Amino acid sequence: MLLLENATARANRWLASQFIDEATKEEIRKLLASPDQKKLIDSFYKDLEFGTGGLRGIMGVGSNCMNQYTVGAATQGMAHYLKKSFPSQEIKVAIAYDSRNNSSYFAHVTASVFSANGITVYLFSELRPTPLLSFAIRYLKCHAGVVITASHNPKEYNGYKAYWNEGAQLVPPHDKNVIAEINAITSFDQIKFTAEPSKIQAIKNEVEDAYYREVINRIPKKESIYRQQNISLVYSSLHGAGITMVPECLHRLGFSNLTILDEQKTLDGNFPTVQSPNPEEQSAMQMALQKAKAIQAELVMATDPDTDRVGLGIANDRGEYFLLNGNQAFSLMMWFILKNLDSKQGAYIAKTIVTTELVDDMARNLGVECFNTLTGFKYIAQLMSALDGKKRFIAAGEESYGYMVGDFVRDKDAVSACAFFAAMAAAAKDEGKTLYQWLLQMYVENGFYKEGLINLVRTGADGEQEIKSMMEKFRNEPPQKIAGERVVRVLDYKISLEKNSLTGSINPLRLPASDVLQFYTEAGSKISVRPSGTEPKIKFYISVKTKLESAKDFLAAEKMLNEKIKIISEEIVS
């Protein structure tokens, strides 16, 4: 009942405001009059909050939805905080948007509010990938930035990713301080919606050209591309912003045989050819895989709507095409990059705590330091800022298909990732090998790690409470055994403690508090549990491992590990 009372009170406040347009008020009246109050509750029971990816929600009326008013309030709050953070300075922000429905509209609302607050706005005149926004912030010496996107979420969603002056998404204390400024807005008349056109400037092509130069400068073994420039590549933008940059980047690198999936290159926020524009999902990649099989391509690439994630497909030695998961792709990228480093002096890479520990082992074997952060590239970027001038950043990645090479972008970057994976395919072929054969060679050298991921979707207010209850149960009643293996270590990032049942020791975790649990077994399996910060999901990350003596043992070892993942999956969500 309390949720309904809160939602009704918020809805009535919106109705009473003279600044809410009549069409929105009519939608609110329908919600209040409906006998099914679930949609009213979901739309108004709370205000949208910044998570690991900023502001994100279903488009529609209400305080918990993406609309011009919640976007306006977020921007006004951010404008207030920028003025407090940079007093007596000419404040500048950059704004980008993707192909989602209403993205262009929300971007212009954002530009209007910033400009009305006397802030100079650099706005991309057309949709562009998220990583270019991160790059533009630093290139144009902006104090902040915003990109309108809901990344890989379903078509009903949109979002508002907020960035600070280092080109990274907001981290504490900035995110909380912006939220405090937003919460201090008690009336829509406090939001300055009327644009000041003289404060809004279009971003010029020189920014994009500078970005391409940075990517090309960081590609190792470019001579392989020259010799293998005609290798067959397949690319799909999944109806998103990637089409504006990925093909051009590959062309500038020298690749001449790129097949673009015509059916999915149209810019369409309804994403008509896929159930969800998420390259993590087999269904989203299916058309690209079919095209690759038809033309016997070396590599398949598909990017999500805002082009910060990329899914990859390759063929095995039997000519069967399959998708690399994010852990495999990141591990293979690190194997390639680290083995080709000119110097390892002071070099480091970074990853998130739920990403495969194969990368930790590989970095250790190759003499490069590997740091772990909380989930979200904003924490990797925060680490990079802390180590600027002390160590040399090489690359970073996460299991959810996000990768970043070099420090010129401070967020995951599918444009440069496509360039690197294409360069890897060329380098492998130059050695007379395939990416699949490289993958197996990597496992033989460093151990065979296999990962699985379970996403349980629980939407709305009821779903949010169910996810909280599940986390509480795992925290209060942790499993003693998983798949017959004794649990020997429990890491609880919410209370920042690690408990070791073998030694009885309790040690502090040196990362910020976060609602994440990790269970390690005596055989080296790892299970991580966390609510998503950007979607109505609870996620279970499963990692198992074994030694791989030779490539010929791969299929048998993979079957064994897949069986173990299946058993763990059934146990953990039962």
- Positions annotated as catalytic residues are 151
Q: Which helix (H) or strand (E) element contains residue 95? A: strand 92-97
Judge contact between 285 and 273, C-beta under 8 A.
no
Return the amino acid letter for 235. Y
Instruction: At 397, give phi and psi (nearest 5°).
Output: -170, 175
Return the amino acid letter for 82. L
Tokens of 482: 């998983």
Residues 6+ apart with CB under 8 A from 48: 55, 56, 57, 63, 64, 65, 66, 70, 74
Q: Which helix (H) or strand (E) element contains residue 138? A: helix 130-139
| Residue 324, beta-bridge partner list | 312
CB count, 10 Å around CB of 229? 13
Q: Which of 41, 58, 78, 82 is nearest to 159 (CA)?
A: 58
Pairing label, strands 537-546, 233-236: unpaired
One DSSP character per residue, 299-344 reads EEEEE-TTSS-EEEEEE-TTS-EEEEPHHHHHHHHHHHHHHT-S--
Rounded Cα–Cα distance for residues 296 and 286 (Å): 15
One DSSP character per residue, 204-247 reads PHHHHHHHHHHHHHT-S-HHHHHHTTT--EEEE-TTSGGGGTHH
How many angstroms separate the Cα of 416 from the Cα of each of 152, 244, 301, 420, 423?
18, 13, 12, 6, 10
**Percent of residues in the chain assigned helix, strand, coil, to nearest 5:** 40, 20, 35
Q: How many CA atoms lie within 13 A of 413 on its CB side?
A: 29
In the block, tokens 């994009």 appear at 208
| Maximum Cα interatomic distance, the chain, rounded to a whole number of Å | 72
Q: Quote the strand ranges of 250-303, DSSP E.
A: 258-260, 299-303
Q: Which helix (H) or strand (E) element contains residue 68? A: helix 68-85
How many angstroms separate the Cα of 218 from the Cα of each of 36, 204, 242?
56, 23, 20
Q: Cα 131 vs. chain centroid, distance in angstroms?
A: 11
